[in-house]
Amino acid sequence: MNIEALSPCGGRVSGVDLREPLNPSTLAAIESAMDQYAVLVFPAQHLDQDQQMALASALGPLELGFRRIRGGAHRLKYKELADISNVTVDGEVAARDHQKIVSNLANQLWHSDSSFQKPRAKYSMLAASVVPALGGETEFADLRMAYDALPGWRREQIAGLQAVHFALHSRYLLGDTEYTQAQKDAFPPVVWPLVQSDPRTGRKILYVGAHACAIEGMVLAEARLLLMDLLEHATQRQFVYTHRWAEGDLVIWDNTATVHRGRHFDLSQRRELRRATTREVLTSPEAAALA
């Protein structure tokens, strides 16, 4: 397995076939490369759904995310695969006011998957099968680089602060508010420290994103502005890798160390990706450090 560093963060991996079951040493090599790079791009893997499920399951227990509250018809073979596409169950490009499109548009806000729940997501694995001619890139910002670049006064200001993350906050931001009480109750808000240490690498992380909607003990307006300022800091170009998709690409990212967002594309063009996501598994001392 060879890794070429991408700029300014991430790595491009060659010399491994993810369609085959991974042996323990390759698996360990991928995990330690994830610790270092936080985003790994595996070009031309062309995984089918079974192969993507097998790969994801080897990396941890699988996470359902929003599918827990949205039932209904699913285009894919497994409920653990999120259908990141603008295509309906009939195989047609969805109308722009279709709930699925509105919901996918929230992916264009900087976020980390499932930061609104405990336990949260660890690795997300996105496989591209159809990509539009223009746009539709995915950007990743490294929250460890973001923390390292904070000035001392800012580090002092945010040390010990606890941010509240809520699943529907990003949807509300886009005016998508039609949820039943049962759906709202399905994801009670959770709290995460704004500054975290990666239990595997010890690196500090500036844990922000679109699901963060308040800070405990802080006036709401001030908290929202602080969260916006920090997210703006974290997503400066010098911390961002932009992935331009080709069919067959697989990209793995660490949700605990990065935020990501999709970019605009022409919604009348097909864009079809599939995502599998693992749940973070922590030892009790690690979980206590994040409480």
Residue 129: which H helix or E strand, with range? Answer: strand 121-130
Residue 273 binds to ligand OGA (criterion: CB under 6 A): yes
CA dihedral 29, 2, 144, 274 (to 10 degrees): -80
How many residues line the site for Mn ion (CB under 5 A)?
1
Residue 113 binds to Mn ion (criterion: CB under 5 A): yes
Residue 115 binds to ligand OGA (criterion: CB under 6 A): no
> Tokens for 269?
């063009």
What is the per-residue binding string for ligand OGA in 128-147, x denoting contact by CB under 6 A? ----------x---------
What is the per-residue binding string for ligand OGA in 79-108, x denoting contact by CB under 6 A? -----x----------------------x-
Burial of 268 (0-12, 13-18, 19+ CB in 10 A): exposed
Tell me how far, at minimum, the Cβ of 196 lies from Mn ion, in Å.
Answer: 19
* Local structure of 167: helix, strand or coil: coil
Tell me how far, at minimum, the Cβ of 245 lies from ligand OGA, in Å.
Answer: 8
- Backbone phi, psi, residue 126, to 5°: -110, 125
Minimum CB distance to ligand OGA smaller for 109 or for 150:
109
The residue from 122, 144, 171, 260 that contacts ligand OGA (CB under 6 A) is 260
Q: Is the dihedral of CA 49, 94, 69, 107 positive or negative?
A: positive
Q: Which of Mn ion, ligand OGA, none lies near 84, with the C-beta cut-off 5 to 8 A by kind?
A: ligand OGA
Using alpha carbons, select from 188, 163, 193, 204 the residue that is nearest to residue 288: 193
Q: Which of Mn ion, ligand OGA, none lies near 121, with the C-beta cut-off 5 to 8 A by kind?
A: none
Residue ranges that bind Mn ion, judged by CB under 5 A: 113
